[in-house]
A and B are shown apart, each in its own frame.
Chain A
Amino acid sequence: DAKTTQPPSMDCAEGRAANLPCNHSTISGNEYVYWYRQIHSQGPQYIIHGLKNNETNEMASLIITEDRKSSTLILPHATLRDTAVYYCIVRGINTNAGKSTFGDGTTLTVKP
């Protein structure tokens, strides 16, 4: 099962783009990359996911390298409310859906 590596912490200025990296060098062909965030002690909130193409939604963009060994979550205009722990996980589908690991994530602090 693929594991992920993320920096423990990052800072970002309010209004600037936040770029959060994730390494998943052992990802297999049918595994997706998912990003979640957790604010305080709330339940993790889904942000975005992708297989191999770049993805964008109203919250963020996901850039996956061509070899799929790493990805970057981009919050285009970070606000103070984006301060949270961000988790990158790799997960298969259907019968492999349970085999995912949440690491310790990246604590993003957005500063005024």
Chain B
Amino acid sequence: DAEITQSPRHKITETGRQVTLACHQTWNHNNMFWYRQDLGHGLRLIHYSYGVQDTNKGEVSDGYSVSRSNTEDLPLTLESAASSQTSVYFCASSGTGNQPQHFGDGTRLSIL
């Protein structure tokens, strides 16, 4: 079965370090998304991509970057981790038209 996987599931790092979170989907979806979810709140869109070599900023993109070199992967990089970026990160993908998003199980990131 097709799926979307995120790794690692949990990560602890220090402020100032570069961190990369992986997202891999086997749905062959063109659209991929990264969200963050802070405790007790909804999801906020960080970056999204409509296809290879396409990336777009979401509502909370400062301090984050993505690259899309193939259809299956959209890694999220925190250039210099800050304690305010401690959160749970979700990746999602969707097909064309009105197809819904499929979400991964999330990465819990703690920055000390």
Contact = CB atoms under 8 A, between A and B. Distances in A.
Contacts of A49: 98, 100
A98 B106 CA distance: 19
Given A94-B97, A97-B50, A43 B44 contact: no
Nearest to A50: B98
Contact of A44 (B40, B90, B94): B90
Q: How large is the interface on A (under 10, 10 to 19, 20 to 34, 35 or more residues)?
A: 20 to 34
A44 B98 contact: no
Contacts, number: 62
A76 interface: no
Contacts of B100: 34, 36, 46, 49
State the main secondary structure of chain A at its contact with B: loop
Given A41-B88, A42-B105, A44-B90, A95 B43 contact: no
Interface residues of B, number: 29
A98 B33 contact: yes
A102 B42 contact: yes
Nearest to A105: B42
A7 interface: no
Contact of B35 (A51, A94, A102): A102
A45 B4 CA distance: 13
B43 to A, nearest CB: 4
Interface string A73-107: 00000000000000100000111011011111100
Nearest to A51: B98
Contacts of A34: 100-101
B45 A100 contact: yes
Interface of A: 32, 34, 36, 41-46, 49, 51, 87, 93-95, 97-98, 100-105
Across the A-B interface, give the 9 residue pairs with the lowest CB-CB distance, nearest first.
A43-B103, A98-B48, A102-B43, A102-B42, A46-B100, A104-B42, A44-B103, A93-B98, A32-B98
Given A42-B105, A49-B100, 5 more contacts: A41-B106, A41-B108, A44-B92, A44-B103, A97-B50
